[in-house]
Amino acid sequence: MIKTSSDPKHPRFLSNFYRDLLSEGVRKGITSLQGLTAHGRGETFDYLMGEKTCSFARVSIQAAASLLLLSKFPVISVNGNTVILSGKGLVKLSQLINCPLEINLYHASKLRERKIFTYLQNLGGMNILLPDKTKIKGIYSNRKMISKSGQKMADLVFIPLEDGDRTRALIHLGKKVITIDLNPLSRTANDATITIVDNIVRALPLLIQVITQFRQLSRNELQSKLNSYDNKKNLARALRFIRKRLAELA
């Protein structure tokens, strides 16, 4: 297990804690160096929103739970940041909805893929897929490489902390996409079917909690929760929240 030297009394303890985890993830060959800067972009938006789960995120978590329970073949796509920040939660989610965890890396290497595979296995992950020779059209990065028994077949792909190209390509293929992204302006946030604007370390445990509750609901009840959700309106709420908070602080 990765350890941190961060002092719990420090006012930015949690932020330092997750930075330590990710730095250790780099040393272990799981997180890429570029993943650290991507985390920094997320932290900026988290700071602007007060580092807490806002009501608009709770609304999208409910919609995401409904869609995950309604879909026929969901797949969870994981990368070097998500497994380090939320590996246990991702494994738990894959067990809860009985779906594969598919490793998909921007800065890919066979060695990193194997390390992430072993890391997830050690956390109890059983259904873990690696990319094979299957490709998604319209992507020029390594993220085009997917698994034919995973994302290729999926009707829904859960891709937290993703870049816009793959989100767009998956949507063009007719798949639904759920993301967790602190940046309500990103291409991923705007193209996804459901965007949870929150930090993955807070949002994933809540998503798991809501799925556990919603498992008692009928398909009709889940569908009606989904029907009342509007991603664009919810993203607009996030932006208005940031504007209001900054205006108040100013």
Binding site for ligand ATP (CB under 6 A): 38-39, 41-42, 45, 85, 161, 163-164, 180-183, 186-188, 199-200
Write down the least CB distance from residue 65 to ligand ATP, Å.
Answer: 17
Q: CA 70 → CA 1, 67, 183, 218, distances in Å?
A: 34, 5, 27, 10
Rounded Cα distance, 61 and 198, in Å: 10
Name which of 75 and 165 has its Cβ closer to ligand ATP: 165
Cβ closer to ligand ATP: 40 or 124? Answer: 40
Element holding 26 (H helix, E strand)? helix 13-27
What residue number has its CB nearest to ligand ATP?
42
The Cα–Cα gap between 99 and 101 comes to 7
Q: Which is nearer to ligand ATP, 183 or 222 (CB)?
A: 183
- Looking up tokens 């991507």 gives 38
User: CB of 13: closest distance to ligand ATP in angstroms?
Assistant: 16
Tokens at residue 111, please?
A: 């060695």
Smallest separation, CB 38 to ligand ATP (Å): 4
Output the smallest distance, CB 35 to ligand ATP, in A: 9
* Residue closer to ligand ATP, measured from CB, 24 or 217: 24
Q: Which C-beta is closer to ligand ATP: that of 29 or that of 164? A: 164
Q: What is the C-alpha end-to-end distance of the chain, expressed in Å?
A: 42
Question: Would you tell me how many other CB atoms lie within 10 Å of the CB of residue 232?
Answer: 9
169 touches 158 (CB < 8 A): no
Q: C-beta of 82: minimal distance to ligand ATP in Å? A: 8
